[in-house]
């Protein structure tokens, strides 16, 4: 694919964002979507996941907005520490899983620790919930500050996943549009 149409690159976290997840609803709604497909969604391996993310970004060869959820937020940050690609125009970083915290995340995610805290080289928005079991609101806000991201508290939405029953998550679509407008300036 080689065109100027901005692609939304949907990047699920642990488990792969099933059919009732807002990422799946968006994948079905938007025509300009590419979705990462990891070999094993339940046994995350940072090296393998990074390779798949980078290969997908290179193949797209067009403007890209990253749409990452949970563990995929850490993946995006690790990717930016070792790769760069001028096609990345922005990132929507939703419900970052605190991979450094055994209190908030399962041991299987420790391979993605330590969470990178470098400033991102493109515009980004961190979206967090007040009652997310995978990250405290304060920690999500800390990450946003370190990454140079805008921060949006969406209230009591859990882990902003399928259990949150957001379906098309219209509020998230508005936030995404805000990010896209920022990247077009």
Give the C-alpha distances (Å, rounded to integers) separating 15 from 2, 96, 133, 145: 30, 15, 16, 28
Query: Please, which pLDDT band fits residue 56 given cuts at 50, 70 and 90?
Result: very high
pLDDT at 1: 34
**pLDDT band with cut points at 50, 70 and 90 for residue 4:** low
CA 79 to chain CA centroid, Å, is 12
Tell me the pLDDT tens digit for each residue of 93-131. Answer: 999 999 999 999 999 999 999 999 999 999 999 999 999
Averaged confidence pLDDT in the chain: 95
- Pairs from 24-32 (Cβ < 8 Å, separation ≥ 24): 25/167, 25/168, 25/169, 26/67, 26/168, 26/169, 26/173, 29/168, 32/5, 32/6, 32/7, 32/8
pTM over 0.85: yes
Domain ranges for the chain: 7-183
Residue 3 has pLDDT above 90, yes or no: no
Which tens digit of pLDDT belongs to each residue from 149-166? 999 999 999 999 999 999
- In the chain, count of helices (H) and strands (E)? 5, 6
Whether the CB-CB separation of 172 and 127 falls below 8 Å is answered with: yes
Q: Sort 41 into a burial class: Cβ within 10 Å, 0-12 / 13-18 / 19+.
A: middle
C-alpha span between 35 and 39 (Å, rounded): 13
Q: At the top level of CATH, which class does the domain 7-183 belong to?
A: alpha beta
- Supply 30's token pair: 């938007």
């Amino acid at each position: 694919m080689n065109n100027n149409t901005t692609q939304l690159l949907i990047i699920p976290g642990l488990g792969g964002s099933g059919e009732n997840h807002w990422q799946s609803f968006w994948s079905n709604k938007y025509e300009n979507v590419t979705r990462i497909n990891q070999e094993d969604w339940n046994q995350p391996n940072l090296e393998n996941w990074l390779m798949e993310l980078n290969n997908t970004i290179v193949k797209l060869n067009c403007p890209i907005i990253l749409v990452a959820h949970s563990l995929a937020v850490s993946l995006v940050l690790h990717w930016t520490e070792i790769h760069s690609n001028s096609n990345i125009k922005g990132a929507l970083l939703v419900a970052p899983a605190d991979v450094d915290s055994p209190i908030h995340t399962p041991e299987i995610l420790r391979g993605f620790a330590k969470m990178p805290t470098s400033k991102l080289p493109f515009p980004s928005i961190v979206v967090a919930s007040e009652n997310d079991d995978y990250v405290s609101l304060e920690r999500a806000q800390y990450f946003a500050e370190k990454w140079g991201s805008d921060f949006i508290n969406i209230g009591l939405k859990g882990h902003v996943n399928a259990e949150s029953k957001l379906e098309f998550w219209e509020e998230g679509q508005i936030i995404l549009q805000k990010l896209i407008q920022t990247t077009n300036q």
